[in-house]
Structure 1
Amino acid sequence: MPDARPRSRRERPAKPALTREGIVSTAVRLVRAEGLQRVTMRRLAKELDTGPASLYVYVANTDELHAAVLDELLGDVDLSPATRDGDWRQRLEAVLVSYMGVLSEHPGLARTAVVVRPSGPNYLNLLQALLRLLHEGGVPDDRAAWGVDPLLLVATAVTAEHSAHGAASRPGADAEWNALTDALRGASPADHPHLAGRAGQLLSGTPEQRRGWFFRMLLDGMARTPLPEDPRPADARRTRS
């Protein structure tokens, strides 16, 4: 028979000390096993055998936790195209496609990446790779500095859209798509003259073709569009508002 007598706390094995690294590592493990949406402060505290209040000493809130998890997972992005030979545009797209692949592996991660702002080493490495390729392509540094944001935003949003509309995550996705297709094809020339008859164009192209076109459009526009003049006096530009 097992010993049912209560044990003193002094007789129990000591729990590992909480650290931010340990908390994030446990969260990443849960994401890989259960998905990001299941990783709440309460769920994480249970896994670490502590109370949620203890976690807030190391992580301010769920958004900060998810940002740290995102940065950790960004370590899986293949940045090697940035240092290879070949067309810089193709190599930049390869980095972004790898980024999208990492997001698509974890349900909910792409939607979270739209709103959270990681600041860890893996995110910095991703920015470094993109800026290196843009510099190689002759994009002025100031435009490249602004341009990496829409590049990542488009890659993230496209992945989030596909994740949300995927059959596995959205059972009604096919019905929604069919309804949109019917609406576009049935648009009245009288009510929607610029829309009627263009359903084929609006719905054309594979996801890969559209993705590549999005990136090329952004790169072409980035190289040709100067940044706006800062209207603030020179001495006021030292501090970001």
Structure 2
Amino acid sequence: MFVSLGGMDEPRSRRERPAKEALTRRGIVAAAVDVMRAEGLDRVTMRRLAKELDTGPASLYVYFRNTAQLHAAVLDELLGAVDLAPVDADGDWRERLEAVLASYTLVLFEYPSLAQSAVTARPTGANYLRLVESILALLDEGGVPPGQASWGIDLLLQLATSTAAEHAGGDDPEAWDALAAVLRAVKPETYPRIAALGEDLLSGAGPDRSSWGIRALINGVLATPRPEGETT
């Protein structure tokens, strides 16, 4: 096929398709985040991403061993939104640590399917490492021995992650009402302690209860030495 350009005939390729961008790990993760935001984490598969990136699934396995590893990379990318400013702020170290963990939980709240995946995900990227380093810095500031800090950080992140995962699908008011009705109806002679506490067992749902749980864990990590022979 030829077209006239200033009296000259120049050949034009029949395949006027722009060259594809080179595949990179960063580009794959960015595409995965876009798919997750638009369609949910369940749709972030090698096949779906290959279609999005106009390549074959085999090309993605060069960068990610499996879908779980890809999801962990997506989690790490989003952890960049966690507010770590409290680490260098003034004030009580416990309150600042609580603020960092609360920010982490809120990031997961924003992406319900990711919150559930985060329970078992094992991110290894720079954002995750910055989060861990920040928590360890605050525990160190509070005088938590290194051995207790290295075990305690796991518990603190587990609590924050499970809190987000528990509410990932949204709370069902009818289910809570049904549980409250059961607690009100228990017989004191059969379940004396449940009857005494009643609906207080369900009280404080939301930020207040989560905040209390984090503070309880922080204090426990500070006060509980590791077993003898397991110290650092």
Map 1:69-218 to 2 at 5 A: 69-166=74-171, 173-218=172-217
Per-residue CA distance 1:36-88 (angstroms, 9 max, x = gap): 22212221111011222221121111100000000010001010100011111
Corresponding pairs, count:
219
Note if contact 1:42-1:52 (Cα within 8 Å) is conserved in structure 2. Answer: yes
Q: Pick the structure with greater CA Rg.
A: 2
Per-residue CA distance 1:96-155 (angstroms, 9 max, x = gap): 111111111112111111101101000000011111111111111110111111101101
Note if contact 1:185-1:197 (Cα within 8 Å) is conserved in structure 2. Answer: no
Q: Distance in 2 between matches of 1:59 and 1:20?
A: 8
Q: Distance in 2 between matches of 1:123 and 1:33?
A: 24
**Runs of at least 5 residues in structure 2 that lack an aligned partner in the other structure:** 1-12
Matching of residue 51 in structure 1 with residue 56 in structure 2 = yes
Q: Distance in 2 between matches of 1:85 and 1:129?
A: 15
Q: Distance in 2 between matches of 1:193 and 1:61?
A: 50
Matching of residue 39 in structure 1 with residue 25 in structure 2 = no
Q: Distance in 1 between matches of 2:112 and 2:211?
A: 23
Deviates more, 1:96-105 or 1:50-59: 50-59
Aligned to 2:24: 19
CA RMSD of aligned residues (A): 1.9
Note if contact 1:71-1:120 (Cα within 8 Å) is conserved in structure 2. Answer: yes
**TM-score by structure 2 length?**
0.88
**Runs of at least 5 residues in structure 1 that lack an aligned partner in the other structure:** 1-6, 167-172, 232-241
Aligned to 1:170: none
Q: Give, as a single letter, the amino acid of the residue that structure 1 aligns with 2:183.
A: L
Matching of residue 65 in structure 1 with residue 70 in structure 2 = yes
Of all paired residues, the percent bearing the same amino acid is: 58
Q: Distance in 2 between matches of 1:104 and 1:31?
A: 14
